[in-house]
Every structure is written in structure tokens, then in C-alpha cells.
Structure 1
Amino acid sequence: MKLEAITWQRMAERLAGHLDAPAAGDTWQRVGIDGAPAADTGVLAEELAGALRSRGRAVLVVAAGGFLRPASLRFEYGRQDVDAYLQGWYDTGALWREVFGPTDPGGSGRVLPDLWNPVTDRATRSPYAELPPGGVVILHGPLLLGHWFPFDLSVHVSLSAGALGRRTPESERWTLPAFARYARDTDPASTADVLVRADDPRHPAWTGLPPS
């Protein structure tokens, strides 16, 4: 697979242009930026949000980490259970209900930016964001692909096994087998519309834009 060196800012500009290429009209667009926590998907999410806003688009950035399940459910089988991390940490049902449902055709555009605070282990009680038709939701975080989320554009920020190990804090290294299994079973590098390699976050490379 051929990769092209690029900056995060230039990548965001290219992605924003791709999203503007078809007439957005009165429908919402949903972008997924997938990657392990060590890949820091929020960097590209914020760069893309800025590029879209400069084009006059309304944008809401949503972190998957704001849709964790309560601790009683996440840690039901222990704090370091790989199966639970893969299948039960993130509230995919709430994402469907609060993020994707409102931005389906005919939806309300009322998107909940987050649901649960894992530090306090309480509901965030954040107000709904009113995203006008033609707006863009950018959802970023780990393990997003393989749930049939209706992304208009999906990006996977990939790290080699070595880079993932080096950049994952010691306290979170128990998740490494989960990401190895995710890579094997879901194959996000092939599933995503755009693949980004970010072993060195200062010098990302990507596959380029998908065909229009």
C-alpha cells in the first residue's frame, strides 16, 4: 500500500474539500476518525473541524470517550478484561440513539455531545447541541469500525505494533491484545475510506482521498 507524506493541517484541508465536493444540501454528514488512544484521534478531529468551519460548515466534534458505559458495567469482569473492553466499554446503543439517529434524513439535528463522565462515574447532563442541516458530526476514538455506523467518511489512524506499544502508557498496556484482535478481526486499515499511518505523529502519511 502506497502512503504519501502529509501534514495534519493539509490532510484536514483535503478531507474538508472532499466532504464539500458533493452538494451537502440539507442533510448532515457523519465522519468517523478511528484509532487507539495512543493515536490521539482528537488532533485530526479538531484540525478537520477547523477546516470545515473555515468553509462555513457547522461542526460538532464528539469523542467516543464521552459515551463510555458506567463502571459497574465496564468492570463487571474486572478492570483489565480484554473481551469487555472490546465489546462492552463503549455505549454503541447510545451513540446510535444520540448521535446518528438525530442526523439521519428527517432527523432533529439535536445531538448529545457526551453522556457519561468516567472520572465521576456519573451522567454528564450536557445540553443537546443543535446542529443545523448541512452540518457535520465528527466522531473520534477507538474501536469505531465494525459497528455499521453510517459514516459518510471514515478515517483510521494506524500505529504499528511497536509504535502502539511505545506510545501506550504502562497502565493501559493491557489493552494492546484488544487492539491486536481488533486489527485482525475488523481490519480497520482496509475497512476505512482513508488510512493514516502515524508512527511518528510529527510526520503522518496517508493513502489519500477515496474516489468521489
Structure 2
Amino acid sequence: MSDPGGETAGRDRVRAHIVSVAAALLTSGGRDALSTRAVAAAAGTQAPTIYRLFGDKEGLLDAVAEFGFTSYLRDKKARPLAGDPVEELRAGWDLHVGFGLANPALFSLMYGDPQPGRQSPASAVAFRILGERIRDIAAAGRLKVGERLAADLVHSAGTGVVFTLLAMPEERRDMRLSEAARDAAIAAVTTDAPAVETPGPAAAAVALRATLPDATALTDGERHVLGEWLDRLAAGPPTN
């Protein structure tokens, strides 16, 4: 009599073992060490097993990135909340940069080969967490640009800082670069006081847009239409 549950558990164990071995190879030898043949040999298995479990090499790389991100996200979620959404964003930046410097090969795997329309499940989760922090700032009335622009700006600035620091000899790395870039990025998207106290519809639209998902009195269609209007208001008047 077959045991589907046991087969699934066994498959999961093999998959986890291969990912762990691949992550160790990545740390010791960089991305070039992650050939299918090398991973299979180190894991004590055959290449067809890797293809069966991961589909192709890109699937294996995604799994390794997700494995690395899991520890990153665990640390990120375990941090005590600062209470102030802007301070929480600042803490998230510091953790992001610290993770990249401590795990250069893994960070390069996750961010060093961007492809339009393709994002690993783990990095998508991380970006969603960043989006949630941006939304908290917007809901507090302290975001002065649209949520997507704010998230993209903070993400690109933070990732760029990591790669810039990684390109330097360790003895030349000056963390004041990260601090200055962090403060500049946050200043570019936030205000010290709630933006809704400033006259004009744009700031009010940003704050209302952040809480729109909670407007359960509206239908999905109504929220969608209102969201488009608020996005237009938040963008400000068109420039000639």
C-alpha cells in the first residue's frame, strides 16, 4: 500500500538538502559554483533529481534565493516595531544593508541579475513587506509621493548602496554612505509632519489611498475606480 504522505515528506527532505548544499556552495564559491553537476555531486544525488525537483537551473537558483531570504525575513519580522512608521522604514533599510554585506554572494544572486517581469517568490515577499511599511507611512499622512514610487525609490537606493559598498575593499567601507543615502531617500518620500495638514488635494489623496483597502463599504469596482482617481490626485497637476 502506497504512502503518499511519506513520499511527499521524503521528497521535501531531499529538496531541502539540495537547497542547503547549494546555498553552502554559493557562499564558498559564488554563483559560478552552482552548476547542476556540482550541486548534484555535493548533495550526493543525480542531475535528473535536481531537474525533477526544481524544473531547471533557474528554479534551483530561485529556491536558493528563497532559502537565503527566509532567514533574512525571519530576522526582519523578529525586530521589535519602532512604533513610528518612518523609524520602522529606517530600521528595515539598515537590516537590508547589513544582510547584503554579510551575505554578498546570496545578495548578488537575489539582486544582481534583474530580468523584466521576473521576480523570485522570496524577493516578492520582501518587496511586499517594504510596501506595507510605505503604506503605514501613507496612512499616517506622512508620505508625499505615491506608494509605488516611494517603494521603488527606497528599494533601488538601498540595493545600490549595498552593491557600492561590496565593490569596495572592506577596510575602505564607510557606513556613513548608507546612513546618508538612507536619510536622503526617506526625506525624499516622507514629511516630518502629517502631509494632510498641508493645503491641497495631493497629500490628502496619498493618505486616503493607503487606507482604501479597508473601505469595505465600497464594492471592489468602486474601490478600483476611486483608487484610480486618488492616484491621479496624488500625482499632482499635469505639467505642460
Fold similarity call, TM over 0.5: no
Give the TM-score range, shorter chain: under 0.3
Report which structure shows greater RCO (CA 8 Å, sep ≥6).
1
Q: Output the TM-score relative to the length of structure 2.
A: 0.25
Q: Output the TM-score relative to the length of structure 1.
A: 0.27
Greater helix share, 1 or 2? 2
Q: Rg: which structure is higher?
A: 2
